[in-house]
Amino acid sequence: MEGAKRNPADELLDLVRSLKSQIQSDIDAGKTPTYLHMKAEAAADVKSTGEKSGVQILKPSRRTLTLGDVKKELGDCQRCPLGRLRTNIVFGEGNPKAEIVFVGEAPGGDEDIQGRPFVGRAGQLLTKIIEAMGLKRTDVYICNILKCRPPGNRNPRPEEIAACEPILVKQLEAINPRVICALGTFAARTLLKTDVPITLLRGKFHAYHGIQLMPTYHPAYLLRNPGAKKQVWEDVQKIMKMLSGQIAQ
């Protein structure tokens, strides 16, 4: 009878039959079935967070912003006095979909001149650490809490951090990495909102808005204290285990 409600089981059966027929006709026509296109698109919008047991736990992407949007918003920033003193803004660089983001303190002299993060001696050491992880700089994303160099490489001031940190938060939101590696005291304390010393923070994962954050020593500290490289390597190995799914996320 026209207008009568159909049995939900019959409707489901019809739907399955129609999907099966669509897939078969796509296959017969030598096309990728519509269903697989949909699956690929859905897969591109989720990130695997645990592959240890072969069962993928999928978490929806939180990428609503792009790094381009954030850079545009930053513009010729003068939100704090460092804006007048810089040669270049050092926004950050690397893979916009990186699984891991390294966050340092602030640009130094080389970075200020080149407009790129971690390109001086400490940067070269960071590059070696990344390569020891079996990655390239272009696989990861590298940035700092401050985007402009404090004069004489002095410590960042609270008002400068307060002015600049929202940009970092948006960068992290745009990238949505699985792990953040906070390099040194300022990065770790700023992101974790704590005064706990880096010696106590490092070596353990901390929660940062649902992202695993591992604090470790800054490469510049390692240049002055090479004995601490062993601890950094231990921290980095934990990150590698997290990324490979050997540690539950």
Among 119, 146, 174, 220, the residue binding ligand SF4 under the rule CB under 6 A is 146
Answer for which of 164, 168, 188, 220 binds ligand SF4 (CB under 6 A) is 164
Spatial distance between the Cα atoms of 145 and 212, rounded to a whole number of angstroms? 17
CB 149 within 8 A of CB 81: no
β-bridge partners, 179: 100, 212
Instruction: Tell me the C-alpha to C-alpha distance, in Å, between residue 5 and each of 8, 13, 18, 174.
Output: 9, 15, 20, 46
Q: Which among 92, 95, 96 is positioned nearest to 106, based on CA atoms?
A: 92
Please tell me whether residue 77 binds ligand SF4 under the rule CB under 6 A.
yes
Q: Does 104 bind ligand SF4 (CB under 6 A)?
A: no
Q: Does 80 bind ligand SF4 (CB under 6 A)?
A: yes
Contact pick of 93, 111, 112, 160 for ligand SF4 (by CB under 6 A):
160
Output the smallest distance, CB 186 to ligand SF4, in A.
Answer: 13
DSSP-assigned letter for residue 226: G
What's the closest the beta carbon of residue 140 comes to ligand SF4, in angstroms? Answer: 22
Between 107 and 120, CB nearer to ligand SF4: 107
Helix (H, G, I), strand (E, B) or coil at 104: strand
By the criterion CB under 6 A, which residues form the site for ligand SF4? 77-80, 82-83, 89, 146-148, 160, 163-164
